[in-house]
């Protein structure tokens, strides 16, 4: 897998499940169920107006109740995150992680729909060398997993899915051994077949038996099990047979984050002439070494000691309200002050961030009806002699 150079058009699905705005929620549920698709794009004249995903169905069922009386515009998300078909796979992957989404519409240069890409599309492109980085399931699985007794209602399952962003909930006995599973796709099925599925029980609606693996099983073999069974998740069992985690397509793809640093290195090398022509104070070697020593954030911004922006990755421009931070050469302190960090000048000094110290700052604001929050981590950029050269900002 060479995600550093491959365009997203090589991975996208060109056959897109489309609807128009005059579709009802009931028609969309029937389409998603009959086609076994995880998303439907709302399109008019090849322009993408919205998207409906399995997660949207779960969220709307939890917050609105029965869905069949709703229209397409009630169910869909808008605007839709889109990328051009020439975009680099690694940038698209990182954009998906930064926006916490699992589907992105792909367009041509005129903004007209040509395909859609999902985490499953990215997963299918992984080679055996990728899986060898983790080797076993324990290195990739999520330990935060939804567990409920089989007597729980579908309403309780949906609430847990929505609140914790779980893609599935396992029914377990008193010893936490798996009895069955209810997934987002199952919720779509239940909403299609029933007017009010919330009152049904987990035991009556769950899929069983549950496909399971252990933490010691090889990751590559476990992904093959999912592929052969046409499923996207496995329960991970401890030695006593209790559920101790879950392995999903998302968890496997999420491990690609480590390769983003290698991509940054390649990007910086390719942009060397541009960096020099702009007389940036922070050279690519310094930026790379500090990123390698840091936990890679959703958005990466590097500045000089005067807080002038020298580098930012694509996720910065994609995050709501962070576009103001993505202008090369600007004093970042002014933008941060506008976002609510009024005393940032007191923190952004070499003295305050010496000896590996970091500062965490939470920024909150409202955009229309949405309440937005960003966690910002700031550290000092230093060279091989531990001399300060600028600042590194990681935003999540």
In terms of residues, how long is the chain? 396
| Contacts of residue 29, Cβ cutoff 8 Å, sequence gap at least 6 | 57, 67, 68, 188, 191, 192
User: What is the domain partition of the chain in residue ranges?
Assistant: 8-118, 129-254, 260-395
Q: What is the pTM of this model?
A: 0.63
CA-wise closest residue to 10 among 80, 81, 90, 82? 90
Indicate the class that CATH gives domain 8-118: alpha beta
**Pairing between strand 147-148 and 168-172?**
parallel
Work out the burial of residue 132: count CB atoms within 10 Å of its CB; fewer than 13 is exposed, 13-18 middle, 19 or more buried: exposed
CATH dotted code for 129-254 = 3.10.580.10
Quick count: other Cβ atoms within 10 Å of Cβ 131?
21
The answer to whether domain 8-118 and domain 129-254 are alike in fold is yes
Report d(CA 43, CA 57) in Å as an integer.
18
The 3-state DSSP class for residue 174 equals: coil
| Contacts of residue 64, Cβ cutoff 8 Å, sequence gap at least 6 | 70, 74
CATH dotted code for 260-395 = 3.30.450.20
Structure-token pair, residue 231: 């499923």
Give the full edge-to-edge strand order of the sheet including 299-304: 309-312, 299-304, 388-395, 370-382, 358-367
**Per-position pLDDT tens, the chain of length 396:** 454 568 999 989 999 999 999 999 999 999 999 999 999 999 999 999 999 999 999 999 998 877 888 999 999 998 898 999 998 887 887 788 777 888 999 999 999 999 999 888 877 776 655 655 667 898 889 999 999 999 999 999 999 999 999 999 999 999 999 999 999 999 999 999 998 899 999 999 999 999 999 999 988 888 889 888 889 999 999 999 999 999 998 888 776 655 544 445 455 455 554 444 444 445 555 555 455 444 444 678 888 899 998 887 766 766 656 666 777 888 889 888 887 888 899 999 999 888 778 888 888 766 666 667 778 889 888 876 778 888 988 887
CA-wise closest residue to 143 among 114, 176, 173? 176
CA-wise closest residue to 322 among 287, 298, 303? 298
CA-wise closest residue to 73 among 97, 38, 102, 44? 44
Quick count: other Cβ atoms within 10 Å of Cβ 328?
12
Sole residue written with tokens 């999903």: 248
């Amino acid at each position: 897998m060479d995600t550093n150079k491959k365009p997203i058009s090589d991975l996208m699905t060109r056959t897109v499940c489309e609807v128009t705005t005059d579709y009802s929620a009931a028609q969309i549920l029937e389409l998603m169920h009959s086609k076994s698709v995880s998303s439907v794009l709302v399109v008019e004249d090849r322009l993408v107006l919205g998207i409906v995903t399995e997660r949207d169905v779960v969220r709307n069922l939890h917050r609105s109740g029965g869905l069949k009386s709703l229209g397409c515009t009630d169910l869909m998300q808008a605007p839709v995150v889109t990328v051009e078909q020439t975009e680099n796979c690694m940038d698209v992957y990182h954009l998906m992680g930064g926006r916490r989404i699992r589907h992105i519409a792909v367009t041509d240069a005129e903004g007209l729909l040509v395909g859609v890409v999902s985490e499953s599309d990215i997963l299918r492109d992984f080679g055996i060398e990728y899986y060898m980085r983790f080797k076993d399931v324990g290195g990739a699985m999520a330990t935060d997993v939804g567990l409920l007794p089989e007597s729980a209602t579908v309403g309780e399952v949906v609430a847990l899915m929505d609140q914790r962003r779980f893609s599935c909930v396992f029914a377990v006995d008193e010893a936490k051994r798996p009895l069955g599973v209810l997934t987002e796709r199952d919720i779509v099925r239940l909403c299609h077949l029933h007017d009010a599925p919330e009152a049904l029980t987990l035991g009556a609606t769950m899929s069983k038996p549950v496909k399971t693996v252990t933490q010691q099983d090889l990751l590559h073999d476990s992904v093959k099990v999912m592929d052969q069974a046409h499923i996207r998740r496995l329960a991970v069992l401890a030695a006593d047979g209790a559920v101790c985690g879950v392995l999903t397509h998302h968890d496997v793809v999420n491990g690609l984050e480590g390769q983003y640093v290698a991509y940054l290195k390649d990007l910086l090398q390719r942009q060397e002439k541009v960096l020099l022509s702009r007389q940036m104070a922070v050279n690519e070697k310094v930026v790379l070494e500090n990123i390698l020593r840091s936990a890679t954030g959703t958005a990466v911004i590097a500045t000089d000691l005067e807080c002038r922006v020298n580098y930012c990755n694509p996720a910065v421009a994609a995050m709501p309200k962070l576009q103001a931070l993505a202008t090369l050469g600007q004093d970042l302190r002014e933008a941060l002050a506008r976002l609510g960090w009024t005393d940032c000048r007191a923190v952004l000094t070499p003295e305050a961030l010496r000896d590996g110290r970091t500062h965490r700052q939470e920024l909150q604001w409202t955009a229309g009806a949405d309440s937005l929050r960003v966690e910002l981590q700031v550290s000092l950029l230093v060279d091989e002699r531990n001399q300060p050269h600028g600042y590194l900002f990681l935003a999540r």
